Amino acid sequence: MSKGTMNKIVIIGEGRVGKTSLTLRYCKGEYSDTQESTINVSYLEKTVQVNETDKVNIAIWDTAGQEKFKSITPMYYQQAVCAIIVYDITYKESFDKVKSWVTELTQILDTNKIVICIAGNKCDLENNRQIDKQFAEDYAKSVGARHFLTSAKNNRGIDELFQYVGQEILKRNTNKGKKNSKMIINNQSILEGDKKKEEKKKKDSCC
């Protein structure tokens, strides 16, 4: 990956599902049982060490889930290369809403091009689970997304989630790079072909 490229990730989902807690846990190693609701959006940057040699810089846009901010959230989707949709495994309605987030994303972004992850957060509260893991995984698969179980409180599943995001972004950026260099090579061959044609024309018209 070229150094300095910033890859935009947007975190969306119902209010109080743990979007900010996930982000803070991953970026700063912090967690609070009294985390306050986000106003509009918050922004953090981090570098994901994908493997021994490759790093991916990510800019995380942690959106506000409260109803009153719903109309402004789509503004933050633009240019995103990855969306993480969070629900709370102990709150069924938050999973039902995942479907509307997926629909909204599809209307604004090319979902074939971006990485979509669905995170079932608060998995430390297993006894209060309202959403079956297999059910959630099947749903994620059906919309081309990858499902993760996370706990910001117990720091579970979060590194795996962002590691996957980093790997997928790296893969896509590498493919894009290959496509671009192919285009440059093709353009070069066209130019060289034109040059040869031009020289032949000159020769033919000469004497």
Ligand X SMILES: Nc1nc2c(ncn2[C@@H]2O[C@H](COP(=O)(O)OP(=O)(O)OP(=O)(O)O)[C@@H](O)[C@H]2O)c(=O)[nH]1
Query: How far is residue 24 CA from its own chain's centroid?
Result: 17
Q: Does 38 bind Mg ion (CB under 5 A)?
A: yes
Q: Does 33 bind ligand X (CB under 6 A)?
A: yes
* Residue 73 interacting entry, from ligand X, Mg ion, none, C-beta within 5 to 8 Å by type: none
Q: Does 7 bind ligand X (CB under 6 A)?
A: no
Cα-based distances in Å from 44 to 12, 34, 47, 91: 15, 20, 11, 27
Q: By C-beta, is 153 or 172 nearer to Mg ion?
A: 153
Least separation in angstroms between residue 68's CB and ligand X is: 10
Q: Does 21 bind Mg ion (CB under 5 A)?
A: no
Q: Does 129 bind ligand X (CB under 6 A)?
A: no
What whole-number distance in Å separates Cα of residue 125 and Cα of residue 146?
A: 21
Q: Does 172 bind ligand X (CB under 6 A)?
A: no
Q: By C-beta, is 129 or 153 nearer to ligand X?
A: 153
Cα-based distances in Å from 11 to 8, 63, 195: 10, 6, 51
Neighbours of 191 (CB within 10 A): 10
Q: By C-beta, is 69 or 139 nearer to Mg ion?
A: 69
What whole-number distance in Å separates Cα of residue 169 and Cα of residue 79?
A: 13
Q: Contacting ligand X (CB under 6 A), which of 27, 59, 104, 124?
A: 124
Q: Does 23 bind Mg ion (CB under 5 A)?
A: no
Q: Does 94 bind Mg ion (CB under 5 A)?
A: no
Block residue for tokens 């935009």? 8
Least separation in angstroms between residue 20's CB and ligand X is: 3
Segment holding 193, helix H or strand E: helix 158-205
